């Protein structure tokens, strides 16, 4: 009696709500922390980046225009789906990051809780960051935060799931849409996350997750005129200044890369939410 052969998964890109292979047909080998073969991942191309940006732009009016309550529910639903796949994530995080089972479990649990934390912000952030402005004249004047637009995210290279969740959830919670380049060498939890997103009522194109070579793809994301903000978190150090220069061509908001991989288990704050929000001030006269 032989053991049953498991059905292996094909790891693909997540683009516009679909799971295509790279248009280039390229793949690259992904190994675990000890170098053992895990899977072939799709190696996204410049054109995949552009398609992803187009999908994110197309999805922006719907997602940013949805009610904050609705966005909160959809994002909470993501956490529910994450919980349902907990064991799969634990196995993938353990393999990708070389963590013992206990640490992998607590990492995945923190990632799920983090997603819940951000889901709850959708209908509160405007209260916290918005204002009515007591202007010196007969006007009603108020300021509300609004999403910046399409955000390019270079996900952390080390923390394949918790780090990814920590940088992606605030983008989506604020009403932005995202194009994410997953951790280059540890992309499998990101692909599984995209399967979660696809089954969580998140409209297609709101989050697009690409796997491939960060150094090859990042410049196309940084210089794309339809990207409004850029998170340099997982960018190669040697490339950062160039990426920032490229981002300046269209005055992108740039979240600088931290000096090293942050300690993602630390409690989050609203800085990342603020980073992708614009303040809009509206004036109207008061009178008869």
Partner 1 sequence: MSSSPTENPWEYAPAPESRDIANLKPSYRMFVDGEFVEGNGAGLKTINPATEEVLAEVSTADSSDVDTAVRAARRAQEKVWRKMPGTERAKYIFRIARMIAERSRELAVLESLDNGKPIKESRDSDIPTAAAHFFYHAGWADKLDYAGLGPDPRPLGVAGQIIPWNFPLLMAAWKIAPALACGNTVVLKPAETTPLTALVLAEICQQAELPPGVLNILPGDGTVGSELVAHGGLDKVAFTGSTEVGKLIQRTLAGTGRRLTLELGGKAANVVFDDAPIDQAVEGIVNGIFFNQGHVCCAGSRLLVQESVAEEVLHKLRARIATLRLGDPLDKNTDIGAINSAEQLAKIRELTAAGDTEGASRWTSPCPLPDKGFFFAPTVFADVQQSMRIAREEIFGPVLSVLTFRTPDEAVTKANNTPYGLSAGIWTDKGSRILWLANRMRAGVVWANTFNRFDPTAPFGGYQESGFGREGGRAGLEAYLDD
Contact 168, 178 (CB under 8 A): yes
Q: Which residues of 84-99 are buried (b: 16+ CB within 10 A; e: fewer)?
A: ebeebbbbbbbbbbeb
Least distance in Å: CB of 275 to partner 1? 10
Q: Which is nearer to partner 1, 104 or 255 (CB)?
A: 255
Instruction: Give CA–CA dist 17/197, Å, rounded.
Output: 9
Least distance in Å: CB of 281 to partner 1? 5
Q: Which is nearer to partner 1, 263 or 269 (CB)?
A: 269
Per-residue DSSP letter, 183 = -
Sign of CA dihedral 122, 128, 130, 131: positive
Q: Which is nearer to partner 1, 112 or 150 (CB)?
A: 150
- ∠ CA(165), CA(167), CA(170), 5° rounding? 90
Instruction: Give CA–CA dist 143/279, Å, rounded.
Output: 6
Cα end-to-end distance, the chain, whole Å: 88
Q: Which residues of 73-82 are buried (b: 16+ CB within 10 A; e: fewer)?
A: bbbbbbbebb
Instruction: Give CA–CA dist 72/121, Å, rounded.
Output: 7
Q: Which is nearer to partner 1, 65 or 84 (CB)?
A: 65
Q: Which residues bind partner 1 (CB under 8 A)?
A: 128-129, 131, 133-137, 139, 141, 143, 148-149, 225, 228, 240-242, 244-245, 247-251, 253, 256, 269, 271, 274, 278-285
Neighbouring CB atoms inside 10 A of 288's CB total 2
Least distance in Å: CB of 49 to partner 1? 20
Q: Which is nearer to partner 1, 18 or 282 (CB)?
A: 282
Least distance in Å: CB of 149 to partner 1? 8
Least distance in Å: CB of 61 to partner 1? 9
Least distance in Å: CB of 152 to partner 1? 15
Q: Which is nearer to partner 1, 31 or 64 (CB)?
A: 64
Least distance in Å: CB of 91 to partner 1? 38
Q: Which is nearer to partner 1, 149 or 212 (CB)?
A: 149
DSSP 86-105: HHHHHHHHHHHHT--HHHHH
């Amino acid at each position: 009696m032989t053991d049953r052969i498991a059905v292996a998964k094909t790891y693909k890109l997540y683009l516009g709500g679909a799971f295509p292979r790279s248009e280039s047909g390229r793949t690259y080998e992904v190994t675990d922390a000890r170098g053992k073969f895990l899977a072939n991942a799709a190696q996204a191309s410049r054109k995949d980046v552009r398609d992803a940006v187009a999908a994110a732009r197309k999805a922006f009016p719907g997602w940013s225009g949805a009610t904050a309550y609705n966005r909160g529910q959809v994002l909470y639903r993501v956490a529910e789906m994450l919980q349902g796949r907990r064991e799969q994530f634990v196995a993938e995080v353990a393999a990708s990051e070389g963590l013992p089972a206990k640490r992998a479990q607590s990492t995945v649990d923190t990632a799920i809780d983090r997603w819940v934390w951000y889901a709850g912000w959708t209908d509160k952030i405007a209260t916290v960051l918005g204002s009515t402005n007591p202007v010196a004249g007969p006007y009603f004047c108020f300021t509300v935060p609004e999403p910046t637009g399409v955000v390019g995210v270079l996900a952390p290279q080390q923390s394949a799931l918790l780090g990814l969740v920590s940088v992606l959830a605030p983008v989506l919670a604020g009403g932005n849409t995202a194009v994410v380049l997953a951790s280059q060498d540890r992309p499998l939890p990101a692909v599984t996350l995209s399967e979660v997103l696809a089954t969580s009522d998140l409209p297609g194109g709101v989050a697009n997750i690409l796997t491939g070579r960060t150094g090859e793809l990042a410049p196309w994301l940084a210089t794309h005129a339809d990207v409004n903000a850029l998170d340099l978190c997982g960018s190669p150090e040697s490339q950062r200044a160039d990426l920032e220069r490229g981002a300046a061509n269209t005055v992108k908001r740039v979240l600088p890369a931290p000096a090293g991989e942050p300690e993602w288990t630390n409690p989050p704050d609203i800085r990342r939410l603020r980073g992708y929000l614009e303040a809009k001030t509206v004036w109207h006269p008061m009178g008869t």
